[in-house]
Structure 1
């Protein structure tokens, strides 16, 4: 989205059209160009290539033939709300930059995009400041900017496009799942297998819309999601794992990890801020509290990002250091596992 959210990558509906009962078969780009004021057919085709045009809730290409009573929607990776993204002098860590792309190593606690009560102090406000002298970059142009997202309290690498061609090219890579993304996560429990695959549709929890949940892979609920994991280090009551995303759904790693009984450490939204494994006693409770204080967010970091450069066609592969809060947390558990007095 966006882990999508961790991508996931939540999409927001901007326009909806329902074809008439007597609608003749017509290419979707031709259908939409007559209904969208100021949109060229080429721009509509770019949106389709990036996966932003849906027919009956399924992504379609520009040559899709609209049929009677088809429901056509245009979705974008930002809420349908006019928001002036004002430049704000917020420090950002640039991992890579050229004339086409900007890769940022986002710290935890920084909201990516304005919305839902956070209309200032976001990553895009910081980028607006950083690129304020670039005449090609306009913060409100949906053809530029974020290609994917990660959660506020997840740290790590994010790529932004500086021009429409880069946004379309990179968006297509994410849609076709050809990017390479690896996350490091500290999870509760001793993960049994050294590596594994988690599959299960991810959708809104019907009992709590703020939470995502897992549905069976063959379910009509949610969207298909696959996460691959590999154990990096075991500490007894917690395990450090590496996750590779095959899809990018909202909260994907967090929800899949909880689904297999290994909730992310200190993930408050999904119950990881409670003691889920370990021994009884005040000393252990104090140790866990110290760990929570040391890393006061879910222990999840988007460590690597790989993609094909939209202009040169060359492979770009970036790796980021584990941030200090999570690095110290891992060291604390390593000492505890070694029998040291970690409190």
Structure 2
């Protein structure tokens, strides 16, 4: 999908909810930079400490009677930071989800070791087991087709810094694909290698290029990866 890159600065003079920064807002969408450690939406264990809950309070401006709300379009894992878009109406949510495969999603990640092929594609069929962990299977009838592109940006003795293209959006897709290649993401407590000194999951949603649901212009939202990622590969 071709289009110009537009980097949006956080709105000035507005209160910023805890755990996130509002990058862009109009009548149709609200785009944020989600901090790591914050859920996108609630679970049976945690319902309030979420981006969804905090944005709902934000658009209602503290008025519990307000009918303003946001709609979840996609998700980032709790420990993944970066660009996340919400819709302000149900039709906008449907538009974004219906066109989601056409949008460009780029991530920055740090993985263990050195990939022998410095730029490539990983494809597999992913399925979830009874412990809620994802893994690849050979049978396309049992798994969901998942495709991840990557390019090595920098390496040191221990880690590699990658730019990742997420072509599909299966649960934990990036984490599983690199773990199964023998190069788990740094800080991944589920699919990775337990290691002292790694601060967090080294995965950041760097940019999202979408078609605006009203203007139909192609726009891109970008955020910088945490400096910590680059320090790991010095």
In the alignment, which residue of structure 1 is the partner of 2:163? 242
| Equivalent pair of 2:161/2:233 in contact (CA under 8 Å) | no
In the alignment, which residue of structure 2 is the partner of 1:269? 190
TM-score normalized by the length of structure 1: 0.60
In the alignment, which residue of structure 1 is the partner of 2:134? 212
Counterpart secondary structure, 1:131 = helix
Structure 2: distance between partners of 1:161 and 1:333: 36
- Change in CA separation of 1:201 and 1:91 when aligned onto 2, cut-off 3 Å: closer
Structure 1: distance between partners of 2:127 and 2:57: 35
In the alignment, which residue of structure 2 is the partner of 1:226? 147
In the alignment, which residue of structure 2 is the partner of 1:330? 230
Aligned length: 215
In the alignment, which residue of structure 2 is the partner of 1:154? 80
| Equivalent pair of 2:107/2:163 in contact (CA under 8 Å) | yes
Q: Find 1:309's aligned residue among 212, 218, 229.
A: 212
Structure 1 runs of 4+ with >3 Å offset: 133-136
Q: Give, in angstroms, the shift of residue 116 of structure 1.
A: 2.9
Structure 2: distance between partners of 1:258 and 1:332: 18
TM-score normalized by the length of structure 2: 0.86
Counterpart secondary structure, 1:256 = helix
Q: Find 2:68's aligned residue among 137, 147, 157.
A: 137
Counterpart secondary structure, 2:102 = coil
Structure 1: distance between partners of 2:19 and 2:167: 31
Counterpart secondary structure, 2:74 = coil
Higher helix share: 1
| Equivalent pair of 2:110/2:229 in contact (CA under 8 Å) | no
Q: Find 1:183's aligned residue among 107, 131, 137.
A: 107
CA deviations 1:254-283 (Å, max 9, x no partner) are: 000111111101101113324xxxxxxxxx
Higher relative contact order (CA 8 A, sep 6+): 2
Counterpart secondary structure, 2:210 = strand
Q: Find 2:96's aligned residue among 167, 170, 194.
A: 170
Higher strand share: 2
